[in-house]
Amino acid sequence: MSFWDYYRMVEQGTLVNFEEFKQNSELKEKVKEGIKGMLKILTSEISTIIKFNSYEEAVWQLLRLNIISASLAQELLDIFPVINNIENADDNILYSMLVRIMEDIEETLIKISEYKGKISNSNSLQV
């Protein structure tokens, strides 16, 4: 599945009110699978440019390389505990963080793509 397939799975959770989200176990499972898929893609993309042992370490390395901003680093550090414990996440916390999770992972992937494009372009300019 592509990033956007997983993104749409998570997005479905944002299209209902909290009560419906809380009561619909099938939807919650779909949302959780979407988040896991988005994280898997993010992990894969990060690993193409750095080696890391934890998400926190990856965030700090991306920040040091100026791939992500300090504010995005903080956002990622805020969402990772929820994502890492997604199976046990409180419905209220998970629901309230869906948009943040979607946007932060998407923005990080865009920043990584831009960084890889810069590296690729700078390598192709060498004679």
Model pTM?
0.90
Give the model confidence (pLDDT) of 90-123 as tens digits.
Answer: 999 999 999 999 999 999 999 999 999 887 665 5
Give the model confidence (pLDDT) of 37-88 as tens digits.
Answer: 999 999 999 999 999 999 999 999 999 999 999 999 999 999 999 999 999 9
Residue type, 48: T
Q: Would you give the DSSP letter of residue 49?
A: T
- CA torsion, points 33, 35, 39, 42, in degrees to nearest 10? 120
d(CA 105, CA 38) in angstroms, rounded, equals: 7
Residue type, 73: A
CA distances (Å), origin 73, targets 60, 92, 107: 7, 23, 11
Q: Where are the domains of the chain?
A: 3-125
d(CA 75, CA 101) in angstroms, rounded, equals: 9
